Amino acid sequence: MKYTEVEMQAVVCHGPKDYRLQKISRPKPRLNELLIRIAACGICASDCKCHSGAAMFWGGDGQPSWVKPPVIPGHEFFGYVVEAGEHGEEHFGVKVGDRIIAEQIVPCGKCRFCKSGKYWMCEVHNIFGFQREVADGGMAEYMRIPPTALVHKIPESISLEDAAIIEPMACAIHTVNRAEVQLDDVVVIAGAGPLGLMMTQIAALKTPKKLVVIDMVPERLALAREYGAHVTINPATDDALAIIHGLTDGYGCDVYIETTGVPAGVTQGLNVIRKLGRFVEFSVFGKETSADWSIIGDRKELDVRGAHLGPYCYPVAIDLLERGLVTSKGIVTHDFPLEDWEQAFALANSLDSIKVLLKPAQH
């Protein structure tokens, strides 16, 4: 297939299980905007759940659809500035040729959350790759960066694979920060997928008394140990409660970070955490999760905290990657050209990969 200078290749979401590789018009940057050439775009668990039709994305039971097709998916992207609209370079403080990343949320700047500095909870909540009102996502050869985007430069010393995990690494940093890890804490991270493994690296930098990682995949647990986990637990063969009680004189862990995305991860956490513990929920669930809420209040008086996106953490992620204190090595396992997006999604939605990248080919 031949492309003109005003066309590009992109994966376009038209609905659940209706994604198509298409030839479309290349976006043109306008006032205070940039055009970037995508170097890589990771496939997130939320991308897979959106593709499969999870209710939280597509609505139902009276709830509106959060996804508004047609839209180009992809929020774990970075790329090179190839063109700037009028005042675009000055607006973002970058130049054509710079390697940049934009945060996944495009805040409105007008709601009560944006005005109070809590932009990641923007009421409008446009996120790249799910709604086209502001801009499409990164599963394409080129992408327009709108004026209200939050842009960060990426040093050339950072490898392509490391640059590709800046977005999820920022989310991992925010999640661990929400846990307020102390030096004498026993910290449990449930789930050793891409985010759980990044959280393991970040939590290890906090030097807790004990860092425990729970997962069903032995290879991922081995990687968690390489990243600093003191203890790993496979609930298929190990008694998680007994092991954690053994580490804590029977009290339970001080911090439990849930990143499995399955209901069992929640109920397990409520079981193994101590009274007055800090429970941090990060996951995007594909279905409703039930739990005995009396554990949270009457029995344990838990401090339950959510963690959403990576606010103010992109510069930290870039700095840690540049200094070699965290890494994509072992996490980024596969990459595919845009043409093979179906194979890439299938692999990303399996246990045969950890993080899968799309690397758009240039025509």
- Reported as a single tens digit per residue, the pLDDT across 64-99 is 688 999 999 999 999 999 999 999 999 999 999 999
pLDDT in tens, 219-266: 999 999 999 999 999 999 999 999 999 999 999 999 999 999 999 999
Q: What are the Cα distances from residue 262, in Å, to 90, 168, 283?
A: 45, 19, 8
Distances (CA, A) of 132 to 90, 137, 363: 25, 8, 24
Q: Which fold has domain 172-306?
A: Rossmann fold (3.40.50)
Half-sphere exposure of 82 (CA within 13 A, CB side): 17
Confidence at residue 4, expressed as pLDDT on a 0 to 100 scale: 61
pLDDT surpassing 70 at residue 192:
yes
Nearby residues of 75 by Cβ (< 8 Å), 6 or more positions away: 44, 47, 104, 127, 128, 129, 130, 137, 138, 167
Q: Is the pTM of this model over 0.85?
A: yes
At 9, list the tokens: 């290749």
CATH of range 7-165+328-358; options 3.90.180.10, 3.40.50.300, 3.40.50.10860, 3.20.20.100: 3.90.180.10
**Which residues have C-beta within 8 Å of that of residue 185, sequence separation ≥ 6?**
208, 209, 210, 253, 254, 255
Residue 343's region, left for phi above 0, alpha for psi from -120 to 50, else beta, is alpha
The string of pLDDT tens digits covering residues 323-355 is 999 999 999 999 999 999 999 999 999 999 999
Residue 362: predicted pLDDT: 54
Q: Which residues sit opposite 232 in a β-bridge?
A: 213
Q: What is the pLDDT of residue 57?
A: 86
Domain boundaries, the chain: 7-165+328-358, 172-306
Residue 278 contacts residue 179 (beta carbons within 8 Å): yes
Closest C-alpha among 47, 8, 134, 7 to residue 345? 47
Residue 86: helix, strand or coil by DSSP?
coil
